[in-house]
């Protein structure tokens, strides 16, 4: 079982953390977190960070290891995660990566596309345009400079739009021209395990999780972070909606409804991303598939005749 990475994938609130811990205990493995929202020390309740008890049950890496005020890119994560895995693979056990951030997962398993460095003033100007002219203006600009990317990325995500535009403007080439170039081969093989459920079950789990977060003190957590609301790390579901409530721009009921709605949309985008990958083997969590998953992993890792 040398140099095998078990990658546990699926939408938010599906039960990835629980499965990862069960597999880590079965195979004496560590867990690499590929949930980009759980990287930040100051964000705990709203990002569903594993509990103290869960963290004690298995060794986790990349959980609350940086501050919201630090610059931390997917490239930084790729480099650090690969270094950690190279060390962990010396134990001759399979290792586990778990998370719902598709870009971060792909960075570790497949490698990132390489982009040229561009003048940072371009991003500053684009952020200014976003504030003054709105997201539709940037979307139209991207559609002109790179219609291929405009048709592929989530255009409702301003950071994705700005990232694509800064490459287009800074390099005088379409962002899409840098995509899917040959990448460095990894020194491990990956078994991809996807968790899913009927859509109504996923949505029910999401609504229950939001209610639990509120009962656990999410509003108090967000209040403490209000002075930092303009940081990129906090432009995320569960925080941005409550910032509006704290600024008297909506009612608490409206904010909670928006959190649930936006989390459902996020889960839908996650599933759309992952279902493009034909190498994922899916398991329905409503059937309690742990034994089936263990059998599947053991078959995939058994020596071949």
Residues of the binding site for ATP: 10-17
Binding-site annotation: residue ranges: 10-17
Alpha carbon 187 to chain centroid, angstroms: 23
Strands 189-196 vs 60-61: parallel, antiparallel or unpaired: unpaired
Helix runs in the chain, H state only: 16-27, 52-57, 74-88, 102-109, 120-133, 135-145, 147-150, 158-171, 199-215, 218-225, 240-246, 252-274, 290-301
Structure tokens at 53: 């008890």
CA angle 123, 126, 132 (to 5 degrees): 145
Q: Compute CA distances 89 → 96, 97, 199, 229, 241, whole Å.
A: 11, 13, 36, 39, 41
Binding-site annotation: residue ranges for substrate: 12-17
Contact between residue 64 and residue 44 where contact means Cβ atoms under 8 Å apart:
yes
Question: What is d(CA 226, CA 246) in angstroms, rounded to the nearest whole number?
Answer: 8
Question: What is d(CA 63, CA 17) in angstroms, rounded to the nearest whole number?
Answer: 12
3-state secondary structure of 130: helix
């Amino acid at each position: 079982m040398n140099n095998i990475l078990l990658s546990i994938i699926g939408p938010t609130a599906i039960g990835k953390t629980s499965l990862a811990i069960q597999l880590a205990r079965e195979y004496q493995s560590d867990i690499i977190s590929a949930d980009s929202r759980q990287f930040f020390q100051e964000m705990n309740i709203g990002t569903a960070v594993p509990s103290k008890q869960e963290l004690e049950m298995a060794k986790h890496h990349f959980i609350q290891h940086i501050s919201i005020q630090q610059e931390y890119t997917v490239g930084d994560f790729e480099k650090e995660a690969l270094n950690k895995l190279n060390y962990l693979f010396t134990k001759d056990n399979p290792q586990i990566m778990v998370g719902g951030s598709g870009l971060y997962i792909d960075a570790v398993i497949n490698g990132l596309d390489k982009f040229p460095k561009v003048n940072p003033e371009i991003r500053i100007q684009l952020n200014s345009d976003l504030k003054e002219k709105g997201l539709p203006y940037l979307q139209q600009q991207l559609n002109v400079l790179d219609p291929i990317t405009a048709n592929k990325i989530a255009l409702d995500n301003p950071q994705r739009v700005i990232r694509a535009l800064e490459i287009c403007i800074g390099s005088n080439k379409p962002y899409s021209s840098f995509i899917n170039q040959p990448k460095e081969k990894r020194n491990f093989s990956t078994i991809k395990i996807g968790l899913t459920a009927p859509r109504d079950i996923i949505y029910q789990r999401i609504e229950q999780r939001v209610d639990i977060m509120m009962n656990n003190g999410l509003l108090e957590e967000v209040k403490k972070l209000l002075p930092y609301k303009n940081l990129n790390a906090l432009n995320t579901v569960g925080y941005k909606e409550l910032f509006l409530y704290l600024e008297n721009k909506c009612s608490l009921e409206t904010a909670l409804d928006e959190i649930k709605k936006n989390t459902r949309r996020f889960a839908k985008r996650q599933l759309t991303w992952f279902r493009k990958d034909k190498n994922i083997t899916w398991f329905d969590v409503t059937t309690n598939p742990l034994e089936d998953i263990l059998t599947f992993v053991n078959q995939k890792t058994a020596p071949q005749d």
